[in-house]
Each structure stands twice: as C-alpha cells, then as structure tokens.
Chains A and B, each alone.
Chain A
Amino acid sequence: MDVQNSEIVELRNISKAFGGIPVLKNVTLHLRRGVIHGLVGGNGAGKSTLMKILSGVYNCDKGDMSINGQDVKFKRPSDAHARGIYLVPQEPGLFPYLTIKENVLLGLGSTLKDPVSKIRSIMEALGCDFALDQIGADLTIAKQQQVELIRGLVRECCVIILDEPTSALTSREVEALFEMLRRLKNEKDICFVYITHRLNELFDIVDELTVLQNGAIISQAPINQYTLKKVIQLMVPAGNGNGERANTNAASSGGNEDEGCPKEGSDYILEVNNLSGRGFFNVTLNLRRGEILGVTGVVGSGRTEFAESVAGIRKAFDGTITLEGKKFSPANPQDSIRRGVAYLPEDRHLHGCFLEGTVKENISSSALHRLFKFIIKKKIEVNLAKTYTRALNILTPSHDSPAKYLSGGNQQKMVFGKCLAVQPKILILDEPTRGIDANARKEIYASIQQFARQGVSIILISSDFEEIKNLSHRVFIMFQGRTVNELKKPNITLENITFSSFGYRAGADETETDQPDIEKA
C-alpha cells in the first residue's frame, strides 16, 4: 500500500494574482496515487485557479511544482498532458463536428501503436454506450464527460482533475460516474482531484479533502475526520477582506440604514410565484418598495438565470410574476425596461456597456425611447449624463471620452448610471462589484443604499456573502435552481448564508434539505 499511495504531484507555495488581487496565497498541495482528493471552497476561494495552474492553463506567479519528484514548469495545457495531468472541465470541450475517435486522438501525436483498440478497451471497461463514429454534438453532457475521461485515460494520465463533474448530471448518471471513478482508482492507481459544490457527494466518493478559503488552504485531512457540518463551518467567510470595507460603510450609514428598511407588512412591488425556467425551478420571492433584497448562492445556483427571466432576456416556462399588482411576463428586455425593471448584467464588458461609445452615449443608451422620439437632443442627453456622473461620482475627463479609457470601477458606475437613467422602479444588480477596486466598491455600496432610500427596490445578486450580509434588508438563498431559504434580520449572518447556499440549514445536523437535480442545458 505504501508504494501504491506514493506521491505523484507536489505543489509548493503557489501564489497567483489577477490584476493585483491575490487569488491564491502560498498554497501547498500533495496528491498521491490511487486517491480521490476532494477540493471544496466557497465562491472565489481559488479552487478553479489552482487546478488551472496544475493543468497548465495558467502560469503561477510564485511557487513550484514537481511530478514524481521532478521539478516541472508548464507553459501550456499540452505540457501538462505530456506529464500525465488532464483537466476535465465543467463544460466538456468536445469538437462538435468531429467523431468521437477523432476527438479522443486529436493532438495525441503518433506515440500509440494501436490507438483504436485502446479506446475500445477503455470504453468497454467504462461501460460506454456510444459509437466511435458518432459526432461530438450528438452526445449528452454525461457522455461527453465520459469522452473527456477517455481522452485522459488514452494519454495514460495519472492525475485527472474533475471540475464539478456532477453539476449537469441526473442522479443515475452520478451513480454511474462514481462507479467508474472507484474502478479507475483501484485498478489503474489514478489520482483524481474532485471539485464540487454538492457537499454530500464528498462522503460517497472522496478519500481526502482540502478546504480552500480566500485563496489559502484552511484544512486538509482524510475524509473520515470531517462531518458535513464541519466542512460547511470551515467555508464560512472569516469576516475580513472585501466585506470589511462594506462593513465600515454600512457602519457609517449605521442608524439610518435600519430606518431605510421597509416595514414588515408593507405592500410588495414584485411578487414571483413558483417561477421555473431553464436553470431554476419554483422560485418564489417578493420585494418591497425601497428594499434591498439579497439573492445569493454558490456559482451555478440559478441566480443569474432567474434574474434574466425577470429582465426579459430568457423565457420562463412556468409560474407568474406580478409587478405592482399586474401580471408581468416580459417577452424581451425592452418590455422590462418600459415596465420599470432595469438589469445590470454580470459581465460588464460582454453585456453591460459599449466600450467604444462615449460616457454620455452609454448613460443615455437605455433611456433613448423615454427621452426622444426621433432626434436626439444634445442638451437633454448632456444633462442626463451630468446628472448621473455627479450622482455616482464617475471620474471621467469629459462626457465625450470613450468608455474604454475609464477604470473598471468607473465603468461599472457608468453602467449603474445607465440603469438608473431609465428611472427604474426595480433595479436588478448582478454582481455589481465584481473585479473593481475598493474605493469604487464603497461608492457603489453607498449609491445602492441611497437609491433604496429614495424608493427604488433593489435585487442584489452577489457571490460575495459579506456584501450580501452588509447591504441586504432580507436575503433569499438559492441552491441548485431553487430558493431554499429566506433570511430576515437579525438572522442574516455569514454562517446562515453559507449553510443555506450549500443546501443545508444552519444548526440542523446532517439533515439535508431536499436537493433536486436540476438539469442545466
């Protein structure tokens, strides 16, 4: 057993920062043969980044890596493949129009003598029921994942990284996958790294566990030393870092913040009843006038999909939305904007702003239909831009400078201004402070609170639990497409949010809330 459990990969003091913000801090990780190593952590803990470094997608800033005792440095993923490390991404990356055989063998070179018979024997061992000449686009997600596994196995990989392999699988498919992993672990001595948000799976499949938080390892031990409760407890944010800034801010507006909190029993401006669509299921929540409603959960819990269906970007197929007492089923974003719902999208650069356009043009872009019939009157547009650059303190040389020259924080404030320019009754903010500097963050928090006091109802979607805790009057938590819990003050604590976002109730021991498998397309 000693030989079997020998170490293959050693990561020493790995550090990595993106845009000056540290994502990994001095992480040291040992991986051994024939072991399934679980890797868990909250949003932004650095799991994916660490694995991308191990598989050659990113280079690390500091630290080193050795495989079988030899120091290595990967420049690209094919270097990692050559040393026996293969990453199975969350979304399988098959070539849609190539056959399965071509998909597996591509990029392999000519090292294998009889690759086809090797693939066949692996497929037989894994119990795959697809043919080698089917094309990639024809397979279900579960089967595409098997193809990715075969890719790794044909290359004789000794370390296979699985990034949330079960997020798109049904429970039967999950069983089959686990069966496969156990067999490969025992028969071929392969080491798996298993990343997941479904924590109960850990106790079925994983041998060792590493918990990451905020880019550092905070716990590492064999799985039998953990309980579910302990694992979640470990992932509760420590209450420093980003949130501290939000905290001081909340403290500064301290007393009047509670004042701004709308009274229990006042009318709802928005009621969502059993709304289902692709990626979310039976979402029920409500929003009062002037309320900041936090909606959170782990990445992939269906928050954005839900928000997009309220904003008219995607269609819900079941359930109702009631806006100011009237039925509301938006067919497109224009509908939503006309009814007073503005949406600030998650990805600023992709969906939020026109980088080539000027600040003025960006701010007025969603409000053109409200202000002008045919001709854009310059004076009105300039005034609009002035109003919001002043209100949000957007630092720009002039209204006519292109948006691409603004800093990330100021761009985000500009997009915020664009949403406000339509004079919304409801403002949906999806990750409003992602990737922006501390000062801009603070200013955006202040603006959110100010606009809520002026009567705008705000749905705040965020992965940052501290942000949610410090700003929200009420919090809904989503897990695998559903709203699983509603927290009111004073129950809005980091611990409660963390437990709920992994599908458990804080305090309740091992009793789980029911966890449906939501198939994501």
Chain B
Amino acid sequence: MKQKLINLILRRPELLTVVIIVLYYLCIGIVNPQFIAMDTFVRILYNGTMLILVTAGVSAVIITKNIDASIGSLLGLAATFGGSYLNTADPSLLIFIMITVGTGLLGGLFNGIGVAYCGVPSIIMTLGTLALFRGLLALYTGGSWIDTVPEWFLNFSRIPVLGLYYPTWITLILLGVLILFFGRFRWGRYIYATGNSLDGSLLQGIPVKRTVLLAFSLSGVMTGIAALIFTSQIGTIPTQAGVGMEIKAIAAAVIGGISLMGGTGSIVGAALGAVLLETISYSLVFFRVPGYWNSFISGFLLLVIVVANSRIEIYLRNEKEREIDEKVKRRYLQLAEKTL
C-alpha cells in the first residue's frame, strides 16, 4: 500500500501538486473564507499567465537534461524591443507580435546552438546569456524605462471573455498545444528520449542535437509570448523586467514534477507547479505580507521538494537493491542445497 502510494507519486508527481494546491486553499480558507472565491482563482490565473508560459518552456529544456537560466533576461529583452516598437508612430499589432516573439525565438536558438552544436554546458551557456541579454537591454534603452504603451493595447488584456481574461485564454490554448505536442508528436517524444538516455537515443538514430535545439527554441518562444503578455498587463517596461523569472520558472517546474535529471515530468505538472507558486504569492498579497517573503517561500519550497524527491528515490533504490540481493541469496541457497 505504502509502496503503491510512493510509486504513484513518483509516476504522476503532478497529483501531489494538485493535493498541495487544494490543501493550501483550504488552509487559507479556514483563516479567511473570503479567499475561496471564483474571483481569487480567476485573478491567480490572470497574474500567473507569464509564469505558467515560461515554466512550460523551461520544462522542455529540463526534460532534455539541460537547463535554461536566461529566460528572465530574455523576457525583459523581448518586451523592450516590442515595447519600443509600440512607441513608434502607428504601430501594427502583427509586427509587434513578430518582434517580441521573434526576439524570444532568436534568443532560444542562440542558447540552443551554443549547447547542442558548440558543446557549451547549458548552465554556463544560459548564465552567460542571462547577463548578455540583460546587458543588451540596458545598452538599447540606455537605462530608461519604456512607459508609453498605447492605451488600446493595455485595454486588450483587460477584456474578460467567458469569465476569464484574454491572456488566460491564450495561455490555456498554448498549454493544450504543448500537451498535444509532447503526447502525440514525434519530436515531443524525442525530447523525452534524449533526456532519458543520450546514448540510447543516438543508437536509435534520434537527431539529438536538433532535439536539444528545438527544446531551447521552444523555451525562447514561450518567453517571447510571456513578454507580449507582460507588455499588455503591466504597461511599463522597466530595465529590471523579468528579473528572477528564471528561478521561479525552474522552481515551478521542479515543484510540478519535472525531474532535474531529465526524462520525466509533464507539462500539466509544470503548469500546476506555476499555479501553486502563484497561489502562494497571491495569498501573501491577500494578507498584506511584505513581498520579499515571496522569494523566500518559493526558494524554500523548491529545496523541500528537491530534497524530499531525492530521499524518496534513494529509499526506493535501496528497496530495489535489497530485493535483488534477497533474490540472489535465495537462488544461492537453492544452489547450495543442490550441490550438497
């Protein structure tokens, strides 16, 4: 029974995340029943869109057993390029989207080429671009903020449709597309296989380098789309836009069951992890707790989950080893009897 439960949690870690989210709601609800309301949920999903999108993107990279630490800066850079285009005379929506998402894509491609084709370890590559993109942003703006985003564009994200806001809908649709991609498409499967076993993938003829490049590009594109939403939700783009986003996204992915060892975890789980982090930060606002607790709590949760996970895995491995030992021992006893 205990074994089965542990196995289920290991197989479907997102279930645990759902349980934690529900428990968290209930706990807060006991203290303040006003928290449990449809409105709360709608707001969390609205505030959380950016985090959900970048978490889904970075998950693709983590599943290939790499990491993308550059998304915070890339988000800022994409928003800055897009935002400064919106400040020109008579901007078109299409070109704005192309610039923002295109910046994300290029950034992701750059990371992917560095990791897959130049053999730079992903942590080094993306820490480098984390600084590089932020520097590029500062050089481009000269340190000033972009704060004249047109009113029509700001209104765009504030129109509710069927009870939810536009950004939430976009996020949900994109999540659906990604779930389909990972579940049904060949290249989605390649991403999992590459993280599972690099040697095995090579033996089966999987184009490993292109797979890694794809994962990084996906992360870049999702970051670009998050930058679109950033621009429309916030309206001003400071030079600090997106700072710390990478830590939150990686934490959310891990909390949602994406293994840092690669090869396992689901997009649904990653999105749920993001929702959990967003719920916590919303509840802090709700209770007027100072904002710096936010960062403390997400870091703390990340460590707790990672440590708990590795403990469970070690426990299971030991159990399995013991089982094999027992089996071998029994076999030996039989043999000893036979030879006597």
Contact = CB atoms under 8 A, between A and B. Distances in A.
Contacts of A22: none
Nearest to B264: A97
Given A78-B204, A95-B263, A521 B328 contact: yes
B189 to A, nearest CB: 6
Contact of B263 (A77, A96, A170, A282): A96
Given A97-B196, A98-B193, A102-B189, A278 B328 contact: yes
B327 A519 contact: yes
A280 to B, nearest CB: 10
A516 B329 CA distance: 13
B228 to A, nearest CB: 34
Interface residues of B, number: 30
Contacts of A317: 325, 329
Contacts of A110: 186
Taking chain A's interface residues, is the majority helix, strand, or loop, or is none over half, making it mixed? loop
A131 interface: no
B331 A95 contact: no
B329 A77 contact: no
B329 A318 contact: yes
Contacts of B332: 276, 281-282, 318
Interface in A305-356: 317-318
* Residue among A76, A77, A95, A318 facing the most chain B CB atoms (10 A cut-off): A95
B193 to A, nearest CB: 5
B205 A93 contact: no
B32 interface: no
B205 A94 contact: no
Interface string B324-340: 11011101100110110
Interface in B53-72: none
Nearest to A135: B11
Contacts of A98: 189, 192-193, 196
Contacts of A96: 196-197, 263
Q: How large is the interface on A (under 10, 10 to 19, 20 to 34, 35 or more residues)?
A: 20 to 34
B335 A106 contact: no
**Interface of chain B: mostly helix, strand, loop or mixed:** helix
A278 to B, nearest CB: 6
A169 to B, nearest CB: 12
B206 interface: yes
B200 interface: yes
A282 B205 CA distance: 43
A356 B190 CA distance: 35
A474 interface: no
Nearest to A102: B189
B5 interface: no
Interface string B12-56: 000000000000000000000000000000000000000000000
A109 B186 CA distance: 8
A78 B205 contact: yes
A288 interface: no
B189 A81 contact: no
Interface string A77-106: 110010000000000011111100010001
B139 interface: no
B263 A97 contact: yes
A107 interface: yes
A318 to B, nearest CB: 7
A514 interface: yes
B206 A106 contact: yes
Given A278-B324, A519-B331, A106 B203 contact: no
Interface in B130-181: none
B319 interface: no
Interface in B188-224: 189-190, 192-193, 196-197, 199-206
Interface string B286-330: 000000000000000000000000000000000001001101110
Nearest to B192: A98
Contacts of A521: 321, 324, 328
Given A97-B192, A276-B332, A281-B335, A107 B204 contact: yes
Contacts of B339: 514
Nearest to B196: A95
Contacts of A94: 200
A81 B205 contact: yes
Nearest to A55: B203
Interface of A: 57, 76-78, 81, 93-98, 102, 106-107, 109-110, 135, 170, 276, 278, 281-282, 317-318, 514, 516-519, 521
Given A107-B206, A110-B186, A317-B325, 18 more contacts: A77-B204, A77-B205, A78-B204, A93-B200, A94-B200, A96-B196, A97-B192, A97-B196, A102-B192, A102-B193, A106-B189, A106-B204, A106-B206, A317-B329, A514-B338, A517-B331, A518-B328, A521-B321
13 contacts: A77-B202, A78-B205, A81-B205, A93-B197, A95-B192, A95-B193, A95-B201, A97-B196, A98-B189, A106-B189, A106-B204, A107-B205, A278-B324
| Ranked 10 nearest A-B pairs via Cβ | A78-B205, A107-B204, A95-B196, A516-B335, A107-B205, A93-B200, A97-B264, A521-B324, A97-B263, A77-B203
